[in-house]
Structure 1
Amino acid sequence: MIASAAIARYGLPPSTTVELLNVSENETYRVHDPDVVLRVHRLDYHPPGAIPSELAWLDALRTEAGIRTPKVIPALDGSRVVRVPDPAGGPDRDCVMFEFLPGREPSEDDLVTDFEPLGALTARMHQHARSWVRPAEFVRFHWDADAAFGTAGRPGRWGSWRSAPGCGPAEHVVLDRLEATLRDRLTRFGTGPERYGLIHADLRLANLLVSDDAGVSVIDFDDCGFGWYLYDLGAALSFFEHLPEVPEVIDAWTRGYRSVAPLPAGDEAEIWTFVLLRRLLLTAWIGSHSEVEIAAALGAEYTSGTCALAEQYLSTHS
């Protein structure tokens, strides 16, 4: 097992307990005694230099902006990213070890209460991103429309929504209209520095930890990159965009955001564009990740829900 081979690079004995936490894109393990987290990266997702760049922003947010993020634990040779041969003979894998942070995932039962402080936290991250002088070798990908939907016959970063389960001819008609409308509105919205910059890009509830002692921690920056700042709100609503309380949740988020940074009315007017952008991306992700437990569980019902949300959106956004 790659995780067992990786911990040896950190001086941990073979008897150390290694427990698989989840498999989504990467494999994430909890290592016991010491209590740390090991991330085994997926293959062929990041260009050279991208993982060290992620870790650089994670460090800067903690030390410069006061955002609680996990510290990176270096290997015995000082490496923050270690390349580990696969004992089974597969390709080498990149691995990173992090401190284990306390806390629980926020509950969907109390979204309005949780989303006001999340809005403030997100604004602090965006303020830092706007002012941070990135290292010269900083490399991260973009979450623009072409990355989301693909271009010139190439699928988007997470595949094509056309391959989602339950996506037949009727669904194609609705979602084609949605993609075209999103592309048009995003083009008009623009990528000026006040609206587009370095974002976490996956601030869903699973990547937040709430602790009475430590407050809110932000984890899993693996998808961080350049995108629209409002995409972070769309991502925060992942998998429950359809709930009737979402408009109230959005209001709470915007109150929190404005307690820290401006949110112009023109930006606020496009919030649902970014909710639907994320929703369509997740629809594509489910279609290209059928082996992942949550994707298999959501299946065709999620595609149907995307079409329902698309119809609502298109009735007011053309």
Structure 2
Amino acid sequence: MGANWDDESIAREALKQFPVHGERLVYLGKSDNVTFQVKTKQESVNYLMKLHYAAMGSHSKKTVESELLWLEALAADTGLTVPSPVRNRDNGLTVEAAVNASGKSVVVTLHRWVNGELLDREPTAGEARSLAQLMTALHKHAMEWNAPAGFTRPAYDTDNVLSLPGPLKRLQELNVISDEAYACLERTAHKIAAELRLQTVTKPTWGLIHSDLHESNYVFDQGIPRPIDFSACGFGFYLFDVAETFLHLSPENRREFLSAYREERQLREIDAKSLDLFFVWAILRNFAFLAQNPAEHASLSELIPKVMKSYFENYLKDEPVLGGG
């Protein structure tokens, strides 16, 4: 489906408030936000514009601006290529554009376009290691960076875990999954929350994370991975970030990733039990996200029982899930 005419007109009006001369807008898609590529006369200079419809509640503008502040800091302090923000003509990070005559407005942001290709295959062993190096660079920066006063991003904590059974309950009500399957998911969430309370929150273990670094959210340019889409970034355990990426890697690549991550962070070992905890949480979070899309229900009805047997039942019995790391 193409762009809504109103979205395009909102984007065009918002673009006037940025110091950028866009030749044309290319509609990219709609998930939580509506996105456009802004093409300029210079072929190598393009931008990404986001209409943040998902952030229309209270504190939304501050939350979006906090994401952009981290991106600005990453661009300034590291050698990483990230979708850094373009400030508006008044040096602000965001623009508020009127949605309709009702007075409602949407937060609009503009980012520098990150060149590269999405992988349509499993990463090679070398690519898995370079992804680990990328994640380590993000984590090292987060450990050293002092976020400014008022910085607001979500926290991936016990409250977050305990919110996950909500959307999954709907799958039970629609008979997409059995009562037994839902009970297993609910028990898993409560066990994760209980074990999470025992995790130590220190500077080397907890901080700002991308939280969604998978093959749709990084591109490779000349063999170097570049992170994109920081819209889910927030505060969490660094191992949760690792576990989220693990969901999308083969067992062999998980080993490569973990080995490189340990080397880069100079960690003698990584607690396998903790990694299992975060991995199971990452699966549960993914299921809760997919459960909100009716188009995913058919595949979830097959996938959830399989994953329960492969991972959740072992986790609930205190048996290894991933194996040693």
TM over 0.5: yes
Q: Which residue of 1 aligns with 2:48?
A: 37
- 82 and 302 in structure 1: CA distance in 2 versus 1, 3 angstrom threshold: farther
1:178 CA displacement: 1.5
1:220 pairs with 2:220: no
| Aligned partner of residue 264 in structure 2, secondary structure | coil
Contact 1:280 1:306 in 2 (8 A): no
Matches for 1:122-141 after TM superposition, within 5 Å: 122-141=135-154
Matches for 1:7-46 after TM superposition, within 5 Å: 7-10=15-18, 16-33=23-40, 35-41=46-52, 42=54, 43-44=56-57
| Aligned partner of residue 265 in structure 2, secondary structure | coil
Q: Which residue of 1 aligns with 2:276?
A: 272
1:45 CA displacement: 7.7
1:187 and 1:307 map into 2 onto residues whose CA distance is 23
| Aligned partner of residue 188 in structure 1, secondary structure | coil
Matches for 1:229-308 after TM superposition, within 5 Å: 229-238=238-247, 240=248, 246-290=250-294, 295=296, 298-308=299-309
1:5 pairs with 2:13: yes
Give the gaps of 5 or more residues in structure 2.
1-5
The worse-fitting range, judged by mean Cα deviation, of 197-206 and 103-112 is 103-112
1:175 and 1:111 map into 2 onto residues whose CA distance is 33
Q: What do residues 175-194 of structure 1 show as CA deviations (whole Å, max 9, x unaligned)?
A: 12311221222222232332
2:303 and 2:124 map into 1 onto residues whose CA distance is 21
Q: What do residues 250-269 of structure 1 show as CA deviations (whole Å, max 9, x unaligned)?
A: 21111111221133535344
1:107 CA displacement: 3.7
Q: What do residues 22-54 of structure 1 show as CA deviations (whole Å, max 9, x unaligned)?
A: 222111111222521101112228545222221
- 172 and 83 in structure 1: CA distance in 2 versus 1, 3 angstrom threshold: same
Q: What do residues 272-308 of structure 1 show as CA deviations (whole Å, max 9, x unaligned)?
A: 2212111101111112244xx7x46844334334423
2:51 and 2:303 map into 1 onto residues whose CA distance is 28
TM-score between the two structures when normalised by the length of structure 1: 0.84
- 38 and 24 in structure 1: CA distance in 2 versus 1, 3 angstrom threshold: same
Contact 2:161 2:192 in 1 (8 A): no
Seq. identity, % = 24
Q: Which amino acid aligns with 1:31?
A: V
TM-score between the two structures when normalised by the length of structure 2: 0.82
- 12 and 99 in structure 1: CA distance in 2 versus 1, 3 angstrom threshold: closer
Equivalent position to 1:106, from 119, 127, 137? 119
Q: Which amino acid aligns with 1:103?
A: G
Q: What do residues 148-185 of structure 1 show as CA deviations (whole Å, max 9, x unaligned)?
A: 322xxxxx5x9532224723202112212311221222
| Aligned partner of residue 197 in structure 2, secondary structure | helix
- 283 and 90 in structure 1: CA distance in 2 versus 1, 3 angstrom threshold: farther
- 45 and 277 in structure 1: CA distance in 2 versus 1, 3 angstrom threshold: farther
1:105 CA displacement: 1.5
| Aligned partner of residue 37 in structure 2, secondary structure | strand
Q: Which residue of 2 aligns with 1:153?
A: none
Contact 1:162 1:284 in 2 (8 A): no
Contact 2:17 2:89 in 1 (8 A): yes
| Aligned partner of residue 13 in structure 2, secondary structure | helix
The worse-fitting range, judged by mean Cα deviation, of 71-80 and 139-148 is 71-80
Q: Which amino acid aligns with 2:261?
A: Y
1:61 CA displacement: 1.4
| Aligned partner of residue 216 in structure 2, secondary structure | helix
